[in-house]
Amino acid sequence: MARVLLIDDHRPAREELRLALVRHGHVVGTADTGEQGLARLGSFAAEIVVLDLVLPGMDGFDVCHRLRAEGDLPIIVLTTRDDDADVIAALEAGADDYVVRPVHARIVEARIRAVLRRTRCGSAGRACDDGYEEHGALRIDRDSLSVGKRGRRVRLAATEMRLLLTLSATPGRVHSRLQLLEAVWQHDFLGDSRLVDACVQRLRAKIEDNAAKPIYVQTVRGFGYRFGPLPDRP
């Protein structure tokens, strides 16, 4: 059960999804516009936001940016727009998942459960091993789920943290995009590899000295990604 805020100006589709989510036990609030949705956040106490990209006034991209600037509230984009540029822009704006309509309500509900499962685990649970580890200038504390770099805290969204923990647990091991989808997003056939690429870009922007020449999250062309190994220091 979760408190879900639906931001969508297409009322018939929104109402159909609202009723389906209520049948699954969720508490659902609705908003017609991005501005209205942002205004409802405090009073409704949403645990996750599901929004369309095409909204009157403030569009879904702007809503994503605003939500991400204010905190780590999970966001699922649910839209008819399937252009690669839109998918990447939404994920880079901070969306945790991207679902293309038409889609059955039970798929959306499964995505909501998957996103909440990983974010709730990330905020309340333990990661892999006890203690902290250091990788060059990067320090990862798996007990407190915190990351620091040269003595300064690096703020990561829950999905970015789970991606970093998954990769850094086995430095040098290559993970395919499908493996990362299953481990981080808990998706299998429902997943979209663009989620992985966009999250990698966001993570690199936060932990790398030069995101264009990463040393922590490295691309292995044709296979996927790996963490390090870091170059030897002179």
**Considering the domain boundaries, does residue 214 fall inside one?**
yes
> Does residue 79 or residue 121 have the better pLDDT?
79
pLDDT of residue 22: 93
Q: For residues 111 and 146, state if they share a domain.
A: no
- Nearest of 206, 204, 209 to residue 219 by alpha carbon: 204
Which range marks the domain in which residue 200 is found? Answer: 132-227
Distance CA 97, CA 50 (A): 9
Query: Is the confidence at residue 124, as pLDDT, over 50?
Result: no
pLDDT tens for residues 29-73? 999 999 999 999 878 889 999 999 999 999 999 999 999 888 888
Q: For residues 119 and 136, state if they share a domain.
A: no
Q: What is the DSSP letter of 132?
A: E
Residue 34, SS3? helix
Query: Is the confidence at residue 145, as pLDDT, over 50?
Result: yes
Using 50, 70 and 90 to split pLDDT, how confident is the model at 110? confident
* Sheet strands side by side (includes 97-100): 27-31, 3-7, 48-51, 75-79, 97-100
CB-CB contact of 94 with 157 (8 Å): yes
Q: For residues 13 and 120, state if they share a domain.
A: yes
Query: Is the confidence at residue 118, as pLDDT, over 90?
Result: no
pTM: 0.62
Distance CA 103, CA 100 (A): 7
What number is the average pLDDT over the span 83-108? 87
pLDDT tens for residues 153-210? 898 888 899 899 999 888 888 999 988 988 888 765 455 778 899 999 999 999 999 9
Q: For residues 7 and 113, state if they share a domain.
A: yes
Distance CA 167, CA 159 (A): 12
pLDDT of residue 38: 94
pLDDT of residue 119: 66
Q: For residues 137 and 119, state if they share a domain.
A: no
pLDDT of residue 187: 63
What number is the average pLDDT over the span 82-88? 85
Domain of residue 174, CATH code: 1.10.10.10
Domain of residue 118, CATH code: 3.40.50.2300
Structure tokens at 42: 């405090």
Using 50, 70 and 90 to split pLDDT, how confident is the model at 123? very low
What number is the average pLDDT over the span 70-89? 87
Q: For residues 153 and 109, state if they share a domain.
A: no
DSSP states along 75-124? EEEEES---HHHHHHHHHHT-SEEEESS--HHHHHHHHHHHHHHHHHHHH
